[in-house]
Structure 1
């Protein structure tokens, strides 16, 4: 992440240098191609005005506040979302704490307190269907009228449709990932789906089998299909390595364990314990299988390695964001 990029969790603590900026407003879970149309407009408007470009988002996701009993598979938890926004060129993300008290703020106070007083925005960019304030009372027309009164401009961006004329949405992407369709999900995201977590110690069975793995515990709400994936792994020092990863419960050796992401990095032997690393998924190879012993498991792992190497040898960036995220070595 850029040294100068800021993650701000209190709108009242915005540095003076960021006041008067152009602010893209939304949840932006996934930072997918639909979101990027809004974000790109904000960046262009900020450049035109010669002011900072910021993102105002909400944490936790409003759905987890209103429906806490229904787990939500977040595509981009706040740290990863911040990395993506930094790579797109924003100066900062403001992660407004979303509570029931905040949800009860009426639309006029959202504009007056958050957008005007705390952020001092010069322009807002958001999706055409953005609603805000208690009972979603604030909508596009309200925001535009409020902008005229408070002295800031408003740009509304139409829904983005993919090549099949379908609207790109976070829910569509979640459904694809739940089915293991990572290539199709990448087409909607505009980059390869990526997870980020600390590498933890395991039973080291993979090492004894000749396939040492970097193990990561993902959030329990992760809806990614269990199975084997061709991946690219970014270490904490920014280096990139191809590999093959298993996500699931390891049915041959540990039926009842918590799902883990276990990545075997090709031609790599360094210690990664305690490092926060990222794994980007390029292809789904197969589902989980319970083998009749370790020998057939090792034989299949060798086939998985060969297939993953072949798949990864021919990949190309889907976009500039994908290139920066999963192809360009350097600062993480």
Structure 2
């Protein structure tokens, strides 16, 4: 299991290290294909040198420290999920450094002597566009070999592109694609289906009267949901996965100005699971949220959504 070590600068409570290690640096929100390229390169270096592989990441999102951002911030991968995904890529330990104004304003020499050297970095690996300080210090990967002065090796990993247009895979673009409901682009960039978690809570129970009972999901505030609409999803409940269709919306057919809710109709499922924590895989968008003039029209649409979802998963299975 990957070890998570939370750090605060200055690193006065750093656990004792018995060996040098390869250190991959980055925020890694989403652990997308570009991030995976960095970690895989670092893993190869660690294997070749017979050293542990560690990651230095940060909390909170750097933009919250460097600029004004609307609250709350939503992560593609909250820290626990990030650590799990990094572990699957062979990372032995993850250092999560609290990103404060003092850390953000460290000059490169102070960052090296105050962070990288205490972590016993024999080789530092990062993406070509990674920065480890304020712009005024030229704290980028292009200058890191000079700042290192032979104290550690530096490996810079080039960009990973999404298509023939040579677009760099980036967390910012993935968030935009997710908000637009473009799950095809999200999946292509992440290299996996986007996943969120949630708690099953009580709703209006209106779905039962329509013949489409739903589980209502409270989503943790820091997690990133797709935009409003109806989606084909898979949901893990108590260790079992079920196909289904999810609505992210305001139920505008029945009432105006309602808060956004997440409701999932699971196929071949009839259990009561209030209080269960579930995982949701967001596979593809079926349609936008629509206001129907009659309940019958809504039921006809739900029948079509169900058929489309079942066809999608049947095709995917084949």
Query: In 2, distance between residues paired with 1:15 and 1:221?
Result: 30
What stretches of structure 1 of length at least 5 have no aligned partner?
318-332
- Secondary structure of residue in 1 paired with 2:300: helix
- Secondary structure of residue in 1 paired with 2:97: strand
Between the two proteins, the alignment pairs up a number of residues equal to 311
Partner of 1:48: 48
Q: TM-score, normalised by structure 2?
A: 0.88
- Secondary structure of residue in 1 paired with 2:96: strand
1:10 maps to 2:4: no
What stretches of structure 2 of length at least 5 have no aligned partner?
none
Query: In 2, distance between residues paired with 1:148 and 1:35?
Result: 26
Query: In 2, distance between residues paired with 1:128 and 1:168?
Result: 13
Query: In 1, distance between residues paired with 2:183 and 2:252?
Result: 22
| 1:7–1:269 distance in 2 versus 1, CA, 3 Å | farther
Question: Which one has the bigger helix percentage?
Answer: 1
Query: In 2, distance between residues paired with 1:69 and 1:139?
Result: 23
> What does the per-residue CA deviation read over 1:183-222, in whole Å, with 9 as the maximum and x for residues that have no partner?
1221121111222233332222223433232322343884
Partner of 1:321: none
Does structure 2 retain, via aligned residues, the 8 Å contact 1:80–1:196?
Answer: no
- Secondary structure of residue in 2 paired with 1:28: coil
Q: TM-score, normalised by structure 1?
A: 0.84
Pick the structure with greater CA Rg. Answer: 2
Q: Which moved more, 1:38-47 or 1:200-209?
A: 200-209
Does structure 2 retain, via aligned residues, the 8 Å contact 1:215–1:260?
Answer: yes
Q: Which moved more, 1:211-220 or 1:258-267?
A: 211-220
Query: In 2, distance between residues paired with 1:193 and 1:54?
Result: 25
Query: In 2, distance between residues paired with 1:38 and 1:217?
Result: 34
The Cα RMSD (Å) is 2.5
Q: CA deviation at 1:95?
A: 1.8
| 1:129–1:268 distance in 2 versus 1, CA, 3 Å | same
Does structure 1 retain, via aligned residues, the 8 Å contact 2:78–2:222?
Answer: no
Partner of 2:226: 224
> What does the per-residue CA deviation read over 1:86-115, in whole Å, with 9 as the maximum and x for residues that have no partner?
222222322211122221222222111111
- Secondary structure of residue in 2 paired with 1:177: helix
Does structure 1 retain, via aligned residues, the 8 Å contact 2:107–2:133?
Answer: yes
Partner of 2:193: 192
- Secondary structure of residue in 1 paired with 2:159: coil
